[in-house]
């Protein structure tokens, strides 16, 4: 029985394979025709400009023939400024310096300088930043232009860091007799866990040497300047900046470690005595480059110091595998210590590096603000699953630093060390392979047939030979990597070699090989991209340092058997006492209002919320104790029924909010103290679903607001820059342009993705100035022409252009089959960032096309979906409602939402972007200026859809009508009209059943 089944299956597969060989799939449409429609607007051109930039390696090769400048440093100050953006201030005094210039977070400032001789110059910038609300929690970012041009692509995003310090004002810090910190007695919560201190920005004049922000190249950058007048322009990407001076100077190179050591030995330096060893806990750092780098708790090892089997104590700093804290290039932590005598010291640490297997994690060390020697760019921390002890070194030497008696600082900055140039090379290869991939895709589609003649050699001969040379480059990289990691081939080199092997085959003089290996290439290049992405996160945790003369005892990695066993036993028994489900249950005392807040997000998210409450709200409002609980969705209803529900519930969808409200389970929030202020936090569209008019049929009754917006999501249009550039078409701004490029895309076998759900349908309605409801929410507008036209418009895309109804957007976008699609901005942004790292920079998003109005303007309205925070009716009985409202007001404020969003990114990486409803918070988040602009553009056009009791019936009936059109060729307007009665009678029934009457307020649509 089984046997015959198997035979049949094999036969079927074989027959399918044979038949598919016969099916012709090619569609060699004319590229030339597409090219003819080329236009000259912004997005594509900008992408092309960026793609066309020289890289540093190329610039270096072209310009290193010129002589180095050897004269005195040329200092350029604010008197040399020739143009400034709006909002800039000159002649300012700030943080101890006079006559500096303040430049805002947009626009370009230009300095003019006379250079005495043509040559190569290095550049330093002395900068500072405001510490008030103008400064967000992100790094300063500028694009450098010299004489109006970006000399090489790396200086498009120069990153200047800020200095964050822990607030230790009321926290006892204990020093030993030498002056090193031995303990910090952090605040504790009621369960005995340590609370991390708040962080503030501290102003500091810092000197930034222009160097590689991507971490690929060690050492300073240089520029070739012609004799005479030159301009230097800093174009703002992010953040305000104060600039004192810009210095052009002769290039400097660092001495080698040997030279450094010899120099100090010649100066009479000797190793310090053993008794002068200093021990310093890593969590007692002085400052960090980011708000999200903080001391944290490790429970995995018994000997992490200090450790407790029950309480969570702050005992290390950094992040584990997958963490984004102190893992991205440029992030640094600085420590201060005092040595009792002068001499040579080594620095050893107890660390955990479990993120980059087979290779190492790199750090650059600065002693007292300077990189002491060349090899200090390349501190290596080798991989191990458990904690290790080791001395700072580059794999060859264990460094001895010469330290004078007294106070010193050292700073560890994330970089790529020796791997940097290899990573740059790999990234370049990936970009090139992607470009070739798109060319082949345009010729033969996503799954070419090996038996077809596509004429690759006639059409893309250069690309084919380039594949061969890229393969050679990749083999070379792989070899170098093996050299660095000590001759072993690992999973890392495998992903490089896989790509090389496939490219070699494809370039091997056979058309068939190209078609045959095409899909394989895509998957391998994806793997390589993922690997590059992983290796870019250089996560490392540090427990403590020992600064001592060479030969001293190293920190122990792990405790011995007995220590570990005792720790585990203690943990086991404490587990009966320790409560992990509530996040810091705080006792209410006299005059303290206890507010129960429930959330349904994940455990990590809840912990972050708790930390922010402790750090900020608990200090600001000691009279309110927040009891935060993580519950599963669906707990709210039964809990409320039995009277043990929360006071404040987070993450409530807009339909749930109105469903609860119309049955009297949540409070009207419009009357609370501070509501007017909260109103300003959000775009007006965010309020629409939660705002209703009570009683009066014409919507003139009292206005009630039942929820505070929390998350706001909406669609944007994602597009592949490379495919658009290849086809020579522009990203459409309205539906007419959209329709105009459709034939070009369709003729090249490209798909366009769009959802057919009610969100898109509503978008069409609102773009035509219609509305989903009529009669203030009593009836549906399916009998109005505007609505019917909108529906026809929606159906048109699916019936005429055959838009796919079901598709995996991420996969098709990645492979290039679907170069344009409309989808939720956060979901897909996050997905592409992680899922398609090899496409970095090759895709973007913009506003959804609009509808051209009669007066020629474009209506770009788009509807939004909301989540809210509500206060339950029970809170009014318990008297916790105002306190609950104060909490919401604090939580949804711009600063706090910005901080929350950044903490999420620190935890989850670039894929942790959060769709906060607070518009100000966006500026705090790590979007690029361009992305931020697009989001703001879309925000300005958002429309809220009112939520009425019974509105669940709309979405499903629209879906039915749509499928009727799609499957059975029904006429759209008729199909939709059929459901008018069904929906209206459901509305009527609901109004009959419910005692409260909700209508849409008369002044909104």
Q: Using CB under 8 A, which of 2, 587, 676, 855 touches other proteins?
A: 2
Q: Does 91 bind other proteins (CB under 8 A)?
A: no
C-beta of 319 vs 645, nearer to other proteins = 645
Distance, CA of 392 to CA of 398 (rounded, Å): 6
**Three-class SS state of 900:** helix
Report in angstroms how near the CB of residue 827 gets to other proteins at its nearest. 18
How far apart, in whole angstroms, are the C-alpha atoms of residue 289 and residue 210? 17
Task: Name which of 343 and 949 has its Cβ closer to other proteins.
Answer: 949
Contacting other proteins within 529-548 (CB under 8 A): none
Nearest one of 73, 58, 248 to 144, comparing CA atoms: 248
- Least distance CB 10 / other proteins (angstroms): 15
In the complex with other proteins, the residue whose CB is nearer, 273 or 447, is 447
User: Using the rule CB under 8 A, which residue among 19, 32, 65, 577 binds other proteins?
Assistant: 19
- Kindly state the smallest distance separating residue 801's Cβ from other proteins, in Å: 11
**Placement of tokens 């490392």 in the chain:** 540
Of 751 and 931, nearer to other proteins (C-beta) is 751
Q: Binders of other proteins among 607-666, rule CB under 8 A?
A: 637, 640-641, 659-660, 663-665
First-to-last CA distance in the chain?
66
Burial bucket for residue 863 (CB in 10 Å: 0-12, 13-18, 19+): buried
- Nearer to other proteins (CB atom), residue 665 or residue 883: 665
Of 390 and 950, the one with the shorter C-beta distance to other proteins is 950
Stretch that binds other proteins, among 425-433, 704-712, 857-865, 960-968 (CB under 8 A): 960-968
For residue 67, the Cα-to-chain-centroid distance in whole angstroms is: 41
Per CB under 8 A, does 802 bind other proteins? yes
Nearest Cα residue to 630 out of 584, 586, 593: 584
The least CB distance from residue 88 to other proteins, in Å, is: 53
Least Å distance between CB 960 and other proteins? 5
Q: Distance (Å, rounded) from C-alpha 705 to C-alpha 870?
A: 10
Binder of other proteins out of 3, 23, 170, 854 (CB under 8 A): 23
Please choose, out of 360-368, 553-561, 703-711, 798-806, the segment that lies near other proteins by the rule CB under 8 A.
798-806
Answer for the pair 892, 900: CB distance below 8 angstroms, yes or no.
no
Q: How far is the CB of 11 from other proteins (least distance, A)?
A: 14
C-alpha dist (Å) from residue 339 to 181, 283, 405: 12, 19, 5
- Listed residue (584, 619, 617) closest to 891, CA to CA: 617
> What tokens appear for 256 in the block?
């080698």
Cβ-based nearer residue to other proteins, 23 or 266: 23
Applying CB under 8 A, the site for other proteins has a residue count of 31
Work out the burial of residue 754: count CB atoms within 10 Å of its CB; fewer than 13 is exposed, 13-18 middle, 19 or more buried: buried
Structure tokens at 872: 């339950």
> Least distance (Å) from other proteins to the CB of residue 875?
15
Of 449-508, binders to other proteins (CB under 8 A) are none
DSSP, res 239:
S
Q: Which stretch binds other proteins (CB under 8 A): 14-22, 611-619, 718-726, 915-923?
A: 14-22
Distance (Å, rounded) from C-alpha 187 to C-alpha 196?
A: 7
User: CA 218 → CA 233, 334, 480, 583, 610, distances in Å?
Assistant: 24, 20, 17, 44, 40
**Residue 333 vs 836, nearer CB to other proteins:** 836
Nearer to other proteins, 253 or 806 (CB): 806
Q: What is the DSSP string of 939-992?
A: HHTEEEPP--TTTHHHHHHHHHHHHHHHHH---HHHHHHTTHHHHHHHHHHHHH
Nearest distance, CB of residue 720 and other proteins, angstroms: 19
For residue 614, the 8-state DSSP code is: I
Q: What is the rounded distance in angstroms from the CA atom of residue 91 to the CA atom of residue 267?
A: 45
For residues 939 to 958, the per-residue mask of contacts with other proteins, x marking binding by CB under 8 A and - elsewhere, is -----------x-x---x--
**Min separation Cβ 643 and other proteins, Å:** 12
Helix and strand totals (H; E) in the chain: 31, 45
- Any contact of residue 993 with other proteins (CB under 8 A)? yes
Told to check if 737 binds other proteins by CB under 8 A, we report no
With CB under 8 A as the contact rule, the residue among 3, 253, 995, 1003 that binds other proteins is 995
Residue 960 contacts other proteins per CB under 8 A: yes
The residue within the footprint of other proteins, chosen from 97, 251, 807, 895 (CB under 8 A), is 807
* Alpha carbons within 13 A on the beta-carbon side of 20: 10
Residue 14 structure tokens: 């074989």
| Least distance between other proteins and beta carbon 950 (Å) | 8
Identity of the residue, 509 or 806, whose beta carbon is nearer to other proteins in the bound complex: 806
For residue 663, the minimal CB distance to other proteins (Å) is 4
- Nearest residue (CB) to other proteins, 79 versus 808: 808
Q: How far is the CB of 995 from other proteins (least distance, A)?
A: 8
Q: What are phi and psi of 953, to 5 degrees?
A: -70, -20
Instruction: Closer to other proteins by CB, 20 or 42: give it.
Output: 20
Q: Could you say which residues in the range 961-980 bind other proteins, by CB under 8 A?
A: 963-964, 966-967
By CB under 8 A, name the one of 104, 552, 804, 910 that touches other proteins. Answer: 804
11 binds other proteins (CB under 8 A): no
Task: Rule CB under 8 A: say whether 931 interacts with other proteins.
Answer: no
Q: How far apart are CA 732 and CA 719, in angstroms?
A: 10
Burial 630-639 (b: 16+ CB within 10 A, else e): bbeeeebeeb
Give least dist CB 640 to other proteins, A.
7
Look at residue 1 and give its three-state secondary structure.
coil
Nearer residue to other proteins within complex by CB, 618 or 794: 794
- Among 170, 642, 680, 806, which residue interacts with other proteins (rule: CB under 8 A)? 806
The alpha carbons of the chain give a radius of gyration, in whole angstroms, of 31
What is the rounded distance in angstroms from the CA atom of residue 52 to the CA atom of residue 61? 17
Among 9, 200, 644, 805, binds other proteins (CB under 8 A): 805
Positions 814 through 843 that interact with other proteins (CB under 8 A): none
Give me the least distance between CB of 751 and other proteins, in Å please: 9
Residues 6+ apart with CB under 8 A from 431: 841, 842
In the complex, minimum distance from the CB of residue 16 to other proteins, in angstroms, rounded to a whole number:
6
The residue to which tokens 């209508």 are assigned: 999
**What CA–CA distance (Å, rounded) separates 154 from 147?**
17
| Interface stretch with other proteins, choices 304-312, 350-358, 764-772, 800-808 (CB under 8 A) | 800-808
Contact status: 16 vs other proteins (CB under 8 A):
yes
Nearest to 105 by CA among 260, 263, 265, 241: 241
CB of 58 to other proteins, least distance (A): 40
Taking the complex as a whole, how short is the minimal distance between the CB of residue 370 and other proteins, in angstroms? Answer: 57
Min dist. Cβ of residue 31 to other proteins (A): 24
Q: Concatenated DSSP letters for 690-745? A: GEEEES-TTS-S-EEE--EEEEEEEEEEEEEHHHHHHHT-PPPSBHHHHHHHHHHH
Please say which residue, 587 or 992, places its beta carbon nearer to other proteins. Answer: 992
Minimum CB distance to other proteins smaller for 878 or for 936: 878
Tokens representing 272 are: 């310090």
Which residues in this chain contact other proteins in the complex, by CB under 8 A?
Answer: 1-2, 16, 19-20, 23, 637, 640-641, 659-660, 663-665, 802, 804-808, 950, 952, 956, 959-960, 963-964, 966-967, 993, 995
């Amino acid at each position: 029985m089984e046997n015959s089944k198997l035979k049949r299956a094999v036969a079927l597969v074989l027959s399918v394979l044979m038949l598919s060989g016969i099916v012709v799939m090619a569609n060699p449409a004319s590229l030339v025709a597409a090219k003819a429609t080329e236009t000259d607007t912004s997005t594509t051109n900008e992408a092309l400009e960026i793609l066309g930039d020289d890289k540093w390696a190329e610039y270096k090769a072209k310009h290193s023939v010129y002589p180095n400048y050897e004269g005195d440093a040329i200092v350029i100050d604010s008197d040399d400024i020739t143009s400034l953006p709006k909002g800039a201030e000159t002649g300012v005094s700030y943080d101890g310096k006079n006559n500096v210039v303040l430049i805002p977070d947009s626009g370009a400032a230009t300095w003019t300088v006379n250079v005495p001789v043509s040559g190569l110059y290095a550049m330093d910038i002395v900068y500072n930043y405001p510490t008030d609300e103008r400064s967000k929690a992100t790094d300063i970012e500028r694009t450098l232009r010299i004489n109006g041009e970006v000399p090489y692509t790396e200086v498009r995003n120069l990153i200047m860091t800020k200095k964050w310090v822990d607030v230790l004002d009321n926290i006892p810090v204990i020093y030993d007799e030498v002056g090193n910190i031995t303990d910090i007695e952090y605040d504790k919560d009621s369960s005995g866990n340590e609370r991390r201190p708040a962080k503030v920005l501290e102003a500091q004049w810092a000197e930034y040497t222009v160097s590689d922000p991507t971490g690929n190249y060690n050492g300073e950058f240089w520029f070739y300047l012609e004799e005479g007048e030159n301009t230097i322009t800093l174009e703002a990407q992010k953040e305000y900046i104060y600039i004192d001076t810009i210095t052009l100077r002769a290039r400097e190179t660092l001495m080698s470690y040997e030279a450094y050591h010899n120099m100090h030995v010649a100066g009479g330096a000797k190793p310090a005595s053993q008794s002068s060893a200093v021990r310093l806990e890593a969590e007692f750092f002085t400052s960090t480059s980011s708000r999200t780098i903080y001391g944290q708790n490790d429970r995995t090892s018994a000997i992490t110091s200090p450790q407790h089997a029950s309480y969570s104590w702050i005992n290390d700093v950094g992040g584990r595998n997958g963490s984004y804290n102190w893992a991205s290039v440029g992030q640094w932590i600085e420590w201060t210590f005092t040595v009792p005598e002068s001499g040579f010291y080594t620095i050893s640490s107890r660390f955990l590096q479990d993120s980059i297997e087979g290779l190492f994690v790199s750090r650059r060390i600065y002693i007292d603000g300077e990189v002491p020697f060349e090899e200090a760019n390349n501190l290596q921390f080798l991989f191990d699953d458990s904690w290790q002890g080791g001395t700072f070194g580059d794999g060859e030497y264990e460094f001895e630093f010469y330290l004078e008696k007294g106070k010193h600082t050292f700073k560890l900055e994330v970089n790529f060390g020796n791997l940097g140039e290899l990573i740059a090379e790999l990234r370049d290869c990936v970009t090139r392979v992607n470009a070739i991939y798109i060319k082949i895709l345009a010729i033969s589609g996503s799954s070419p047939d090996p038996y077809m003649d596509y004429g690759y050699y006639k059409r893309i001969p250069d690309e084919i030979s380039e594949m061969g040379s890229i393969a050679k480059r990749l083999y070379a990289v792989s070899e170098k990597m093996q050299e660095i990691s000590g001759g072993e081939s690992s999973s890392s080199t495998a992903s490089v070699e896989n790509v090389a092997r496939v490219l070699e085959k494809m370039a091997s003089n056979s058309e068939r090989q190209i078609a045959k290996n095409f899909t394989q290439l895509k998957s391998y290049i994806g793997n390589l991209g993922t690997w590059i992405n992983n290796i870019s996160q250089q996560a490392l945790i540090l427990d403590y340092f020992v600064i001592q003369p060479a030969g001293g005892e190293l920190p122990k990695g792990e405790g011995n058997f007995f220590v570990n066993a005792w720790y585990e036993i203690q943990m086991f028994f404490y587990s009966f006492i320790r409560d992990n489900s509530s996040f810091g249950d705080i006792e209410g005392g006299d005059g303290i209002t206890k507010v129960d807040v429930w959330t349904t997000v994940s455990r990590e998210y809840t912990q972050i919320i708790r930390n922010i409450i402790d750090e900020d709200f608990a200090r600001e409002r000691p009279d309110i104790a927040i009891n935060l609980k993580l519950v599963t969705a669906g707990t709210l209803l039964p809990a409320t029924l039995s009277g043990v529900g929360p006071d404040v519930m987070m993450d409530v969808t807009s339909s749930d909010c109105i469903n609860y409200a119309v049955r009297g389970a949540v409070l009207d929030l419009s009357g609370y103290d501070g509501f007017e202020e909260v109103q300003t936090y959000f775009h007006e569209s965010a309020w629409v679903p939660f705002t209703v008019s009570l009683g009066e049929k014409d919507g003139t009754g009292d206005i009630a607001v039942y929820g505070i917006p929390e998350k706001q999501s909406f669609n944007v249009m994602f597009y592949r820059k490379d495919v658009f550039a290849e086809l020579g078409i522009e990203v459409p701004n309205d539906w007419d342009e959209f329709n105009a490029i459709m034939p070009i895309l369709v003729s090249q076998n490209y798909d366009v993705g769009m959802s057919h759900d009610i969100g898109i349908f509503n978008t069409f309605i609102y773009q035509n100035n219609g509305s989903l409801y009529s009669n203030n929410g009593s009836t549906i507008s399916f009998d109005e022409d505007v609505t019917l036209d909108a529906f026809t418009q929606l159906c048109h895309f699916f019936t005429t252009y055959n838009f796919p109804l079901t598709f995996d957007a991420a996969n098709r976008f990645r492979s290039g089959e679907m170069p344009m699609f409309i989808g939720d901005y956060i979901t897909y942004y996050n997905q592409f960032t992680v899922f398609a790292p090899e496409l970095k920079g090759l895709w973007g998003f913009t506003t959804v096309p609009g509808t051209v109005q009669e007066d020629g303007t474009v209506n770009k309205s788009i509807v939004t979906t909301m989540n809210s925070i509500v206060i339950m009716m029970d809170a009014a009985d318990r008297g916790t409602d105002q306190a609950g409202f104060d909490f919401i007001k604090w939580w949804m404020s711009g600063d706090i939402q910005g901080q929350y969003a950044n903490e999420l990114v620190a935890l989850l990486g670039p894929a942790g972007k959060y769709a906060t409803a607070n518009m100000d918070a966006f500026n705090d988040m790590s979007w690029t200026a361009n992305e931020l602009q697009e989001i703001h553009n879309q925000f300005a056009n958002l429309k809220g859809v009112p939520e009425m009791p019974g509105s669940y019936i709309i979405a499903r009936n629209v879906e039915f009508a749509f499928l009727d059109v799609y499957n059975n060729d029904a006429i759209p307007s008729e199909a939709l009209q059929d459901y008018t009665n069904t929906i209206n009678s459901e509305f009527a029934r609901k109004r009959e059943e419910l005692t409260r009457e909700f209508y849409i307020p008369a002044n909104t649509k």
